[in-house]
Chains A and B, each alone.
Chain A
Amino acid sequence: MPRTDIGKLSFILLFAPFALWIVLLIILPQLGIGYISLREKVGPGEYTFGLANYAAFVSEPIYWNTLLRTAWMSILVTVMALIIGFPVAYYIAKIAQRRSRAALFLMCLIPLWVSDLVRAFGWIVILRETGLVSSFLQKIGLISGPVEFLYNDATVVMGLVYTVVLFMIVPLVSTLDGMDNSLIEAGYNLGGSRLTVFRRIVVPYAMPGIVAGCIIVFMLTAGSYLTPILLGGKNSMWFTEQIYEQFVTRYNWESGATFGVLLLVFTSFVVWLGLRLTGQNLASTVAKD
């Protein structure tokens, strides 16, 4: 049976890169991190196994407060990205002319061609006390002295929304694009108001895109490092920074690894909770045919 052999071979060959990637770059490092997180340091070069690192996390309010703060701000960013991204996606997919659609989509993509770091520094140049916004407002006389816009939570949230909103728009556009316009027309013909049509037809149809977008955005935000630190300044407290500090500044790989595991578990839990509360599951949304 040569045909099945070839089929098998091509399956193995096609599957191999994916399997290698997931095992070598995702699963093995995660196992390593999990292993280190269970290691307790007794003295120089001496270790035993136990849960002391996790206990240390629970007993130190600074750590779990930072984690909760990161989660809470990430949820806020996700919601704002959805609110801002949905109209944009709807316009691109349903209202814009077919010809201009590609151009509009491209315009959304362009900011991604510049690295995160450069975009964060761009915001710094614009928002700092001697920056563009502050000096412009002084020039037109709205404010009398220079104002500092950096180093607060609002700036961090804004910077993050700006960075991730695209990851909300892309899945939304592709789902909305597949929606038949006659569904909306039918809704109006049957006497539905704009709100009812939006609530009963558009949103349910777009649900897979909304869920996919929210998951991507939430995970990206909770795991982002540069934007919160550069824009947050003295008041930034992001969990990823905590992990970096543990690994690099304090040479404490054990607790850094613990924090890594906790971040993964906690964000997964938030995603699960979000799906639960909205009555969705992964099979009916992200993996929908």
Chain B
Amino acid sequence: MKTKFALAATTALALLVASTAAQAETLRLLTWGGYAPDNVIKLFEEANPDITVEVTLSNNEEMVAKLRATGGAGYDLAQPSHDRIFAAQQEYNIYKPLDLSKIDTASLAPNLLEGVKANATIDGALYAVPHQWGTSGIVADVSKAPDVKGWGDLCNPEYKGRTSMRLRRTILLGTAFALGKDPFALYGDKAAYQTMLDEVTEKLISCKDNVKTYWNGGDDLSTLLLSGEVVVSEAWDSTAFKLYGQNKNLVYVPPETGALAWIDTFVIPRKGEADDAAYKWINFVMKPEIVKLMSDSTGAIAAVSNGIDLLPDDKKAAVQAAFDEKDLANLKFFANIPAGLEDMEGKALERIKAATSN
């Protein structure tokens, strides 16, 4: 009886070991559209034959909502922006601390790494490393709107019915800068922030007539601009650079108050099951030859020291057409959103959306 049991147990164990060894590991990636192009996945799977990559495309809000719903399970690697780490981790506990010794930090751009470290460290543990960065600003059709300078031009009556924006927190911040405020400086003072938000809300409601519609993703934005229905719009620089490739009149304009810069990061969800594969992916996509393929697909700049040089030629031309040294020095990086502020911003956005226009 005893030997029989022992035999059965050994067989079961052997089977278990055999099956895990034979079974390929899966890396479940939760990321943005374009951040896991097929050619990069293919190269990665060739380099790591025991890993298969599964991709789910999403955006900042949905990534956090998905991980929150499962307590951080279901994915092995996710890519929220750097300002979406701190509060989400504090409130929902959905990420795992990273082991920096497993990441090739030497290749990362030091200023971006420091920026993310400052934003994503809780109780001494680091939760994110940078991957790609880019900015939000204005895209303008220079043949029809040559004098566009900043966020304020979205509400310029000269372009009535010909402007567009994305009704999210970026436009609140941009409009605040255009009104001469510094929202990031007011982050610590809720009352002052609310006063500023009220002013911004009023501005954007009065501006609603001027706006054709609000765009939701890169695709609607592209259609609106390429068809000529919209001539000035808030835009992600990556989308704008792609458009520049199709129509040289569509130029990205960093607002004079400073383009708003975001960094998309790598985080490991709390219940991720393939940490080693996740680290392998992080190190893999930071290799110079992969960075080039990746930037070609994302249109954004990799967070490595010579990120701009590693852009494909057409995108490099677009970046050089858009930014000069002064613009680059004037970038405004999104600061961590303190708890409670997002609620206030959400209310402001609802008010703008619900306001009636023509």
Q: How far is the CA of A44 from the CA of B92 in the complex (A)?
A: 8
Given contacts A45-B91, A151-B212, A251-B65, whether A65 and B354 have CB atoms under 8 Å apart is yes
**Distance of A283 from chain B, by nearest CB (Å):** 40
**In the assembled complex, A128 has its CB within 8 A of some CB on chain B:** yes
Q: A129 contacts the other chain (Cβ, under 8 Å)?
A: yes
> B residues within 8 A CB of A151?
212-213
Most chain B CB atoms below 10 A, which of A66, A245, A250, A252:
A250
Contact B65 A248 (CB under 8 A): yes
Asked if A98 is at the interface (CB within 8 A of a chain B CB), the reply is: no
Partner pick for B211 among A66, A234, A247, A249, CB 8 A cutoff = A234
Q: A44-B91, A45-B91, A235-B356 are in contact. Are A251 and B350 (CB under 8 A)?
A: no
Please judge, given known A-B contacts A44-B339, A252-B343, whether A245 and B357 are in contact too, CB under 8 Å. no
- Any B CB within 8 A of the CB of A148: yes
Most buried by A among B168, B214, B339: B214
CB of B343 within 8 A of CB of A248, answer: no
Contact present for A62 and B350 (CB under 8 Å): yes
Which residues in B have their C-beta under 8 angstroms from that of A45? Answer: 91-93
Check B160 for interface membership: any CB of A closer than 8 A.
no
Partner of A62, one of B68, B93, B339, B351: B351
Question: Is the C-beta of B227 less than 8 angstroms from some C-beta in chain A?
Answer: yes
Q: In the complex, A245 Cα to B342 Cα: how many Å?
A: 12
Q: Chain A, 37-72, contact with B by CB distance < 8 Å: what is the 0/1 string?
A: 000000011000000000000000010011000000
A224-253 vs B, Cβ < 8 Å mask (1 yes, 0 no): 000000000111010000100101111110
Interface pair B213/A62, CB less than 8 Å apart: no
Name which residue of chain B comes closest to A236, CB basis. Answer: B353
Q: Which of B304-358 contact A (CB under 8 A)?
A: 339, 342-343, 346, 350-351, 353-354, 356-357
**CB 8 Å contact bits of A118-148 with B (1 = contact, 0 = none):** 0000000000111000000000000000001
**Please, how many residues of chain B have a CB less than 8 angstroms from a CB on the other chain?**
31
Q: CB-CB contacts of B60-74 with A at 8 A, as 1s and 0s?
A: 011011001000000
Contact B350 A235 (CB under 8 A): no
Q: How far is the CA of A273 from the CA of B185 in the complex (A)?
A: 53
Q: In the complex, A62 Cα to B211 Cα: how many Å? A: 21
B213 A237 Cβ-Cβ under 8 A: no
Chain A residues near B88: list those with CB within 8 A.
251
Residue of chain A at shortest CB distance from B169: A249
Residues of A within 8 A of B339 (CB): 44
Residues in A whose Cβ lies below 8 Å from that of B354: 62, 65-66, 237
* Distance, CA A247 to CA B66, complexed state (A): 10
Residues of A within 8 A of B343 (CB): 250, 252
> Are B91 and A128 in contact (CB-based, < 8 A)?
no
Chain A hits for B64, CB < 8 A = 251
Contact flag A251-B68 (CB < 8 Å), given A45-B91, A233-B214, A234-B211 = yes
- Across the interface, do A234 and B208 meet the contact criterion of CB distance under 8 Å? yes
A172 within 8 A of B: no
By a CB distance below 8 angstroms, the chain A residues around B143 are none
Cβ-closest chain A residue relative to B229? A129
Interface residues of B (CB under 8 A from A): 61-62, 64-65, 68, 88, 90-93, 161, 167-168, 208, 211-214, 227-229, 339, 342-343, 346, 350-351, 353-354, 356-357
Q: Which 7 A-B pairs have the closest CB atoms?
A: A233-B213, A250-B346, A44-B91, A130-B227, A62-B354, A234-B213, A248-B65
